[in-house]
Amino acid sequence: MNFRRHPLVALLCACALASAASFALTGAAHAASASEPAAIAAASGAGAAAAAGNDGPAYGPELQGFDYPEPVEQFGFTSQGVALHMAYMDIQPQHANGRTAVLLHGKNFCAATWGPTIRRLSEAGYRVVAPDQIGFCKSSKPEHYQYSFQQLARNTHALLESLGVSRATLIGHSTGGMLAIRYALMYPQQTQQLVLVDPIGLEDWKAKGVPSISVDQWYERELKTSADSIRRYEQATYYAGQWRADYEPWVQMLAGMYRGPGKQIVAWNSALLYDMIYTQPVVYELGQLQMPTLLMIGQKDTTAIGKDAAPPEVRAKLGDYPQLGKAAAQAIPHATLVEFADLGHAPQMQDPQAFHKALLDGLAALPGNP
């Protein structure tokens, strides 16, 4: 698909330009599936969130206009014959403990959403590297790319090599957990410790009966996503039915890319990434992980890719994180399970204090840790 010449895209772009002035009054009709920090009115509760509707800022296809908590650098490389760049933050601690933590974001998240975790880890002496994966946020969004967790792991490994990081603790959230597992399987000697925060992929959705969704169907779904639908989904799944004003910037971070001039290429890459997630399970290889692994599971999490497309009898059995977390802890040879009874898919955002205490305690428990 060529996003410079494709007639449908040209029509969509023309419509977007023609209606740009009306967005401020009517809200973005096709707001999307990413999020950005913006000046959001300080209001709490689900009612206030609903009042925000679909209005908000517009960002570029690489999150131009959205500020990150630390300076952003770019790693340039060639992959699959295409010149790409991978955005990342590299934070050096004032008092180093000799360890490096690599933070891997989820599907509807960016490196920026790790901001409080970056600060806590840095204060504890960790060097922190937080990249945006290809296809996400401030990194390249190629028109043609064969997405796989192996490819994303290779990209991440190349970045770390360029930074002189030969061994690290991988901390992966959501889809980033699937990537962290794949990285650890491919580079076991370079993975000192593995931390999985509500990772998806602890079940095989297609084997359980979730029907296949084509890339073209994913693309159409992504084009229709609005800030309001992002908000409703995140409230129900990420935050266990709760809503606070500090969640809203992350809704706007995602939706802002779909209001901007690169909406189509953002949606296309998102569709390719959803297909990767659905078709490349990691659950069957958990027993091969040999490094110490910390599982951090919100017990109210119900995330499952394609769940809304599944028949009711299948949907009812998906995303059972209390069971999935325990099963993963049994399958991974050196696993420690930490459960958060009242938290959902994003415990690091819903209860940062409890999450960071458990995280730092778990990192410190690494055998041989100074």
| Highest mean pLDDT: which range of 48-52, 208-212, 364-368 | 208-212
Q: What is the mean pLDDT of the chain?
A: 88
Q: How far is CA 295 from the centre of its chain?
A: 17
Residue 150 has pLDDT above 90, yes or no: yes
pLDDT for residue 25 is more than 70: no
pLDDT, one tens digit per residue, over 101-111 is: 999 999 999 99
Lowest-confidence pick of 47-56, 119-128, 230-239, 341-350? 47-56
Residue 112: what pLDDT?
A: 98
Who's near 293: CB < 8 A, 6+ residues apart? 193, 194, 195, 196, 332, 334, 335, 336
For residue 2, is pLDDT > 70? no
Q: What is the pLDDT of residues 169-225, one digit of tens each?
A: 999 999 999 999 999 999 999 999 999 999 999 999 999 999 999 999 999 999 987
Of 12 and 93, more confident? 93
Class of CATH domain 46-364:
alpha beta
Cα–Cα distance between 208 and 316 in angstroms, integer? 11
Residues 300-320 have a mean pLDDT of: 95
Give the pLDDT score at 190.
98
The beta strands (E) that lie in the chain are given as: 73-79, 82-91, 100-104, 127-131, 168-173, 191-197, 293-298, 335-340
The arithmetic mean of pLDDT across residues 306-330, rounded, is 96
DSSP 186-250: H-GGGEEEEEEES-S-SS-HHHHTPPP--HHHHHHHHHH--HHHHHHHHHHHTSTT---GGGHHH
pLDDT class of 12 with cuts at 50, 70, 90: very low
Give residue 367's pLDDT band: very low, low, confident or very high (50, 70, 90): confident
Residue 96 has pLDDT above 70, yes or no: yes
The answer on pLDDT for 278 being more than 50 is yes
Q: What torsion, rounded to 10 degrees, do the Cα atoms 217, 222, 223, 228 define?
A: 140
Q: What pLDDT is stored for residue 226 in this prediction?
A: 84
Confidence grade of residue 119 (pLDDT, cut at 50, 70, 90): very high
Using one digit for the tens of pLDDT, what is the confidence trace for 29-41? Answer: 333 333 323 332 3
Q: How many residues does the chain have?
A: 370
- Strand 73-79 with 82-91, pairing: antiparallel
- Quote the pLDDT of residue 54: 81
The tokens for 167 are 């061994």
Asked if 35 and 108 count as a contact pair (C-beta separation under 8 A), the reply is yes
pLDDT of residue 135: 98
